[in-house]
Amino acid sequence: MNPGKALAQAQHAGTQLLKYSKHPDVQAYLAEGNKEGANSFSTTITLGVTIDQLLDIIGTAQENHYLAEEVLDPSYPFWVDVEIANLISTRTDLEDKIEKVKEEGTRALLIRTEVTCGWILGSKDDVNFTSLVKNLKLHI
């Protein structure tokens, strides 16, 4: 994922958190940030994961009552060679449908539903929480 897409997906994750705005953990997160001088945000750390790690960590976090979700983008864009694009099914009756948006020269822009990132809310002082992510490295 290029940097622009990553920034957009991170914004999607932050916006998704709004549906929990009245949850005590979100309130504590915002209060901690405000106490430290931030304007309605707090520390966020971005870690690199594979899709399997992401889904496993989110599932485990939810089982342990942490706020956590994956971001499912319903129209994630990607470019492929036109020759390949013509081999990809664009049937709309399929669950994992792909739509061709346009062609430019030898490449085609397609969109698909894609899990792009995820988020979990917790404290660095909570050993149960940190054990979920302790083996991951910072995303670079």
Q: How does pLDDT run across 27-86, given as a tens digit for each residue? A: 999 999 999 999 988 989 999 999 999 999 999 999 999 999 999 999 999 999 999 998
Annotate 53-73 with three-state secondary structure: HHHHHHHHHHHCCCCEEEEEE
- pTM of the model as a whole: 0.83
Q: Which DSSP letter does residue 1 get? A: -
Residue 90 makes CB contacts below 8 A (sequence gap 6+) with: 97, 98, 99, 100, 110
Q: Looking at this protein, which amino acid is placed at residue 62?
A: Q
Radius of gyration of the chain (CA): 18
Q: Looking at this protein, which amino acid is placed at residue 14?
A: G
For residue 2, the model assigns a pLDDT of 85
